[in-house]
């Protein structure tokens, strides 16, 4: 094993500041821990106005999909129509996060890549455990394909993506859609720091990055308990890395970070897709932590986030726009 690059020094200070501000949680009930996790992610909104060049000219509107499922459309300022569409699932351990918490990132990505984004307000655990969020993801993809033309989108250039738990939902949904008999039009799969395996796999990154890097191993295990209680870790609808056969997937970008609990399962999933014949672009940050390129606090502070975002944008444009 090669010696890994030290964590970015400025990031180390940032993470220490964040940990000090949060304090020591001590013993908590599940309800208290859930409230803390949701509040921590909501605090990301406080960083929105400090992001340089946040494109407020991107047109946004909230939409109703089916039933109680809603989402937010981001349309970049482009004269040429129709435009590619990315269905996006936010992170937050399946139990926290929202369209609002990921609004800054979706604005940046939509504007820079020249794609319409449908950000999905999927149901959260523990109130709605597995497979509720997955069902919402599948509904959103089909809704986007059916309605894209109404809002200037091109259903023939449809992508699916997400970060962290949202990357997990995108990975599982893409496999199900690609293995099914109904056409879906997926042309690209964007998996940013995705969850792909159950903690019982004991990937080394769970030990190496257990504490001190934002997303802690015990919190990730707790998220799993909220999302998929009683579900077998071998079930590929919760552990896509354990799929026996990978469907014929579109080109995929998988992003990972060295100081991330989810590092090894993300790398393994990129390798699994590549071995199955999927065209994979793997973007790895050797000195950063989980979801650094998505979280507004780190997007605003670190040049590595600009580099990663440029990679995501370049890939989306090459895959969907060119």
Q: Looking at residue 243, which CATH number applies to its domain?
A: 3.40.50.1820
Q: Which domain holds residue 283?
A: 9-15+31-321
pLDDT digits (tens, 9 = 90+) for 217-242: 999 999 999 999 999 999 999 999 99
Q: Indicate which residue of 168, 184, 203, 290 is catalytic.
A: 290
Query: CA-CA distance, 236 to 174, in Å (whole number)?
Result: 12
Token reading at 8: 């970015």
On whether residue 1 sits in a domain, the answer given is no
Domain count, the chain: 1
Query: CA-CA distance, 152 to 148, in Å (whole number)?
Result: 6
On whether residue 179 sits in a domain, the answer given is yes
**Secondary structure, 3-state, 55-90:** CCCCEEEEEECCCCCEEEEEECCCCCCCEEEEEEEC
- Is 147 among the catalytic positions? no
- Exposure string of 149-178, with b = 16+ CB inside 10 Å and e = fewer, is eebbbbbebbbbbbbbbbbbbbbbbbbbbb
CA distances 208 to 95, 217, 225, Å, are 25, 10, 22
Token reading at 56: 């407020």
Token reading at 170: 């995108």
- Is 110 among the catalytic positions? no
On whether residue 76 sits in a domain, the answer given is yes
DSSP state of 7: P
On whether residue 22 sits in a domain, the answer given is no
User: Residue ranges of the chain with pLDDT lower than 50?
Assistant: 1, 49
Q: What's the pLDDT at 50?
A: 54
Q: Indicate which residue of 260, 287, 289, 295 is catalytic.
A: 260
Helices (H) and strands (E) in the chain, counts: 10, 8
On whether residue 202 sits in a domain, the answer given is yes
On whether residue 180 sits in a domain, the answer given is yes
The residue behind tokens 């060119």 is: 322
On whether residue 24 sits in a domain, the answer given is no
Q: Indicate which residue of 98, 110, 119, 164 is catalytic.
A: 164
Element (H, E) at 205: helix 204-208
| Dihedral angle sign, alpha carbons of residues 47, 49, 51, 54 | positive
Q: What's the pLDDT at 56?
A: 73
Q: What's the pLDDT at 26?
A: 60
On whether residue 20 sits in a domain, the answer given is no
- Is 290 among the catalytic positions? yes
Q: What's the pLDDT at 1?
A: 46
Q: What's the pLDDT at 185?
A: 78
Token reading at 214: 């934002």
């Amino acid at each position: 094993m090669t010696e890994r690059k030290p964590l970015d020094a400025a990031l180390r200070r940032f993470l220490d500041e964040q940990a000090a501000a949060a304090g020591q949680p001590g013993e908590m009930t599940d309800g208290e821990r859930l409230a803390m996790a949701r509040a921590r992610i909501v605090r990301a909104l406080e960083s929105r106005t400090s992001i340089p060049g946040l494109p407020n000219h991107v047109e946004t509107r909230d939409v109703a999909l089916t039933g109680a499922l809603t989402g937010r459309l981001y349309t970049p300022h482009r004269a040429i129509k129709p435009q590619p569409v990315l269905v996006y699932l936010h992170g937050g351990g399946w139990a926290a996060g929202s369209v609002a918490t990921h609004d800054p990132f979706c604005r940046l990505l939509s504007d820079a890549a020249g794609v319409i984004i449908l950000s999905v307000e999927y149901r959260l655990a523990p109130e709605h455990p597995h497979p509720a969020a997955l069902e919402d993801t599948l509904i959103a993809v089909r809704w986007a394909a059916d309605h894209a033309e109404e809002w200037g989108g091109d259903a023939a250039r449809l992508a699916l993506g997400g970060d962290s738990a949202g990357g997990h939902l995108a990975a599982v949904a893409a496999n199900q859609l690609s293995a099914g008999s109904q056409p879906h039009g997926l042309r690209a799969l964007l998996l940013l720091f995705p969850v792909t395996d159950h903690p019982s796999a004991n990937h080394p990154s769970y030990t190496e990055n257990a504490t001190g890097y934002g997303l802690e191993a015990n919190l990730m295990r707790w998220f799993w308990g909220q999302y998929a209680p009683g579900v077998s870790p071998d079930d590929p609808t919760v552990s896509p890395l354990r799929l026996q056969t990978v469907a014929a997937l579109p080109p995929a970008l998988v992003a990972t970070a060295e100081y991330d609990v989810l590092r090894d399962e993300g790398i393994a999933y990129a390798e699994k897709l590549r071995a199955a014949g999927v065209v994979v672009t793997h973007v790895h940050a050797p000195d950063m932590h989980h979801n650094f390129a998505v979280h507004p606090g780190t997007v605003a502070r670190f040049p590595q986030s600009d580099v990663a975002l440029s990679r995501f944008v370049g890939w989306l444009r090459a895959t969907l726009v060119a």
